Structure 1
Amino acid sequence: MSVHETIHIRRSIESAANHVCLSVSVVTFNPNPILLQRTLDSLRYAVAYLRAQRGQNLSVSVLLVNNGSDCISDTWASVFKQDAIECKVIAGHGNIGYGRGHNLAIESLTSDYHLILNPDVDMAENALDQALKFFDKHPAVALLAPHVSGEDNVTQYLCRRYPTVLDLFVRGFLWKKAQTLFILRLARYELHDLIKVKSLSHELADQTIDTFISPQIVSGCYMMFRTNVLKKLGGFDSRYFLYFEDYDLSLRAGAIASIAYVPAVRIVHFGGGASKKGWRHIYLFVMSAYHFFNRFGWRWL
């Protein structure tokens, strides 16, 4: 074997070793078409940025799970294909719930990393790049949560401590004026003190991606996993139809690996608020909370 052949084989092996496979699942049920378009476009731009940083050693697949939506069609598969992103639409199963919808995608994954993404999230262009950089530096971390802000650019505190029944009632159902009576309690539940410090330190350092905390619970609107850990957990618990499936998955993930809040990964989230969506959502919220506390332990006050 010639020297050139040896070098070529060595480079091929190194390239294969450095190759990264990323998958993304989005579950939709009657989504806002404008927000969905914004979400999927931001995903495309983030993938393009990631490729610009990592070269061609990257493959990306998107699984669009249609629980009931006129917005999702094979047209999106063609759009993603133009950006060299594999896309599959999973449909025909009806509205089986948020967690079970994602599980349809998770069960067939062969990727290195998997992003669970809401259809109402606009991610920063460098969000995927910052996430993978963080994973590269922290092999013990298996689940990553981003810094989340609303459309008004105000921070949404979606990383949480273990909740009490009172925390959930105050946070979900009391009017804003009444919530001020519990402001310190809610701040503790939502990790205000830690998140403010970590987010500020990231902004001051400008490029610090190591600044993170280890929350017990993170939001299902954007959960970046090492796929092998996600599959080991079996994805979401299918007994939750909607709400608290992310609480459940966070606690199970934290029992076998580390979870990180990484302020360098930034998204805008347009959703939330079960009590504002009608009685059916309130019922689903209460039933899921009941199942969650039965499984992990009741804390009242």
Structure 2
Amino acid sequence: MFPKSTERVSAKSVKQLTIIIVSYNTAPMTLKAIEALDLHNRSVDYDCIVIDNASTDGSVEKISEAFPMVRVISLRENVGFACANNLAASYCTTPYLLLLNPDTEADVGAVCALMTFAKAAPGAGIWGGRTVFSDRTLNKASCWAAPSLHSLLFRAVGLSRIFSQSALFNPEEYGNWERDDIRQVDIVVGCLLLIRRDIWNMLGGFNSKYFMYGEDADLCLRARALGCQPMITPDAQIVHHVGASTNNNDEKAILVMKARVSLIQDHWPAWQVRYGILLMWFWSALRFVITRPLAYSGNSKGVLSAQRWQLIWRRRDTWLNGYDQA
């Protein structure tokens, strides 16, 4: 079990939570995210920090003007999601940190429910909620199981897609679990991730080599190695308008593959790593071959899929080594 919190909050202290939002050319959505917090989650007294990754859409000025109570930190260059969160967290003094994506809108009482859950299950150390798409249908990507040899094999040969509701063949998504009950998970996704600040500090925050994608998985897996038991509650729900910070889907595809390779390198037993990298190569090669006919199908989704896997295959040298180890 992870050690109890070392934080001491005086009786006079009110704020126990700081919400951190990393923005990058997402001014309209970031404003909506803060507005949802302000309208629907006033029962929690929190600080809010928006750290801006050198946006060019006037995010800093717009957010500062609309919400003067929010601390806005403007960076001169895009340092990535991981480094930006680390920098923002260095300014925090509250016992809890909540990482929230700019393309989210918290439901009524979501933050309060998450804080209540954290205090009821302190051993978890990291807590998350339930995410839905804009149409209110379930978005499973609030949590994941850790990737493994067999989960990657099933992804590579397509069984995870064919049997998406199977916990056996689609273990990373926890099969058909609707995220409708409390459960321990391996990974809480960084779009809505609550963590004790002392645990964050002990872990050194995000590993900064993960520029974007994979940093939350790495954090949770390192926390689990120290005794944390991350948990999900359905009572804390947000709408996640996916992908606002990465408008270039080609860039996202490469970063996701690179992050998966880095997670294999960083968290799998040494003897499994070479097999994991081989499966990543096989996965991309097989998808490249299978989707080639779709490029000429006239179906827009099929064409996009073929183009994406063509790009991933041709740029395999870019991601097969993972993120730089420096």
Map 1:1-301; keep pairs closer than 5 Å. 15-16=11-12, 19-31=14-26, 33-48=27-42, 50-51=43-44, 58=45, 60-69=46-55, 70-81=57-68, 85=69, 87-158=70-141, 159-164=143-148, 167=151, 179-180=161-162, 184=166, 187-193=170-176, 195-196=177-178, 199=180, 212-256=182-226, 257-272=228-243, 277-297=248-268, 298=273, 300=276
Aligned to 1:3: none
The CA RMSD measured in Å over matched residues stands at: 3.2
Render the CA deviation track for 1:34-65: whole Å, top value 9, x for unaligned: 322221211212442x14xxxxxx3x221111
Structure-1 separation of matches of 2:146 and 2:104: 24
Partners in 2 of 1:280 and 1:224 — Cα distance? 27
Taking the aligned partners of 1:152 and 1:125, their CA distance within structure 2 comes to 17
How many aligned positions are there? 260
Aligned partner letter, 2:97: H
Q: Given the superposition, is the C-alpha separation of residues 22 and 173 from structure 1 closer, same or farther in structure 2, using an over 3 Å criterion? A: farther
Conserved 8 A contact 1:120-1:271: yes
Cα 1:141–1:14 shift into 2, 3 Å: same
Q: TM-score, normalised by structure 1?
A: 0.75
Higher relative contact order (CA 8 A, sep 6+): 1
Indicate if the aligned counterparts of 1:170 and 1:182 stay in contact, CA closer than 8 A: no
CA contact (8 A) 2:161 2:170 kept: no
**1:274 touches 1:285 (CA, 8 Å); kept in 2?**
no
Q: CA deviation at 1:242?
A: 1.1
TM-aligned CA deviation for residue 280 of structure 1? 2.3
Q: Gaps (5+ residues) in structure 1?
A: 1-12, 52-57, 200-210
Give the counterpart letter for 1:16 in structure 2.
K
Q: Structure 2 counterpart of 1:29, which letter? A: Y
CA distance in 2, matches of 1:241, 1:173: 28
SS of the residue aligned with 2:190?
coil
Alignment check: 8 A CA contact 1:274 1:281 kept: no
The 8 Å contact of residues 163 and 170 in structure 2, kept in 1 or not, is answered as no
- Give the Cα–Cα distance (whole angstroms) in 1 for the partners of residues 124 and 213 of structure 2: 24
Q: Which runs of 5+ in 2 are unaligned?
A: 1-8, 280-326
> Does the C-alpha gap of structure 1 residues 267 and 186 become closer, same or farther in structure 2, counting only changes over 3 Å?
farther
For the 8 Å contact 1:116–1:222, the answer to whether it is kept is yes
